[in-house]
Amino acid sequence: PLPLVLVSACLLGSPVRYNAIHKRCDSEVLARWLAQGRVVPVCPEVSGGLPVPRPPAEISLGAGGAKVLLGQARVIDRQGQDVSDAFISGARHVLVQAQSQDIRVAVLKEGSPSCGSGYIYDGSFTGQRMVERGVTAALLESAGIRVFSEAQFVEANDLLLRLEAGEAA
Ligand code: SF4
């Protein structure tokens, strides 16, 4: 069967971001995947029960998603509300969905406290980036699912093609 790929719903044009807008991505690779029926849309924050719109959230003070999953850091929204449980539950929901469909590749929205894979914001709500993963990206990677950003559709496609050819175990 054709390997499927998880894609952040906001990159597909769903207005599910905290500010109720989308970040639709103009990618030839994505258009091809959509035509092939390979794309499984996910939004961990909505799956975790958070509303749209919602206050923006960041992982507290210099930590990444892995620490949130271990209970060593929290996700706090700009109003000071602890939303860690919703982030963790959304991440688990996405992982179960991926595993139930044997999905090994994801392209998730960069910079998000859930979906970010190359950077997230540092918890100070001042726009400072740091090299870390969001909660869902960290959980997926710990389960062996490769997470790419929307700047890496080509790399993600290379891996998919290798999986399809049975070359990547
Ligand atoms: Fe997009 Fe991920 Fe945020 Fe949902 S949680 S809006 S999919 S970046």
Task: Give the pLDDT of the chain (169 residues) as one tens digit per residue.
Answer: 789 999 999 999 999 999 999 999 999 999 999 999 999 999 999 999 999 999 999 999 899 999 999 999 999 999 999 999 999 999 999 999 999 999 999 999 999 999 999 999 999 999 999 999 999 999 999 999 999 999 999 999 999 999 999 876 5
CB 37 within 8 A of CB 72: no
Measure the CA–CA gap between 38 and 32, rounded to whole angstroms. 9
* Ligand 1 centroid from CA 81, angstroms: 18
146-148 and 39-42 strand pairing: unpaired
ipTM over 0.85: yes
- 111 CA to middle of ligand 1, Å? 10
Q: Kindly tell me the burial class for residue 3, based on how many C-beta atoms sit within 10 Å of its own C-beta (0-12, 13-18, 19 or more).
A: middle
State if pTM tops 0.90.
Answer: yes
Write out residues with Cβ below 6 Å of ligand 1: 8-10, 16-17, 43-45, 109, 112, 114-115
| Residue whose CA is at the smallest distance from ligand 1 atom 1 | 10
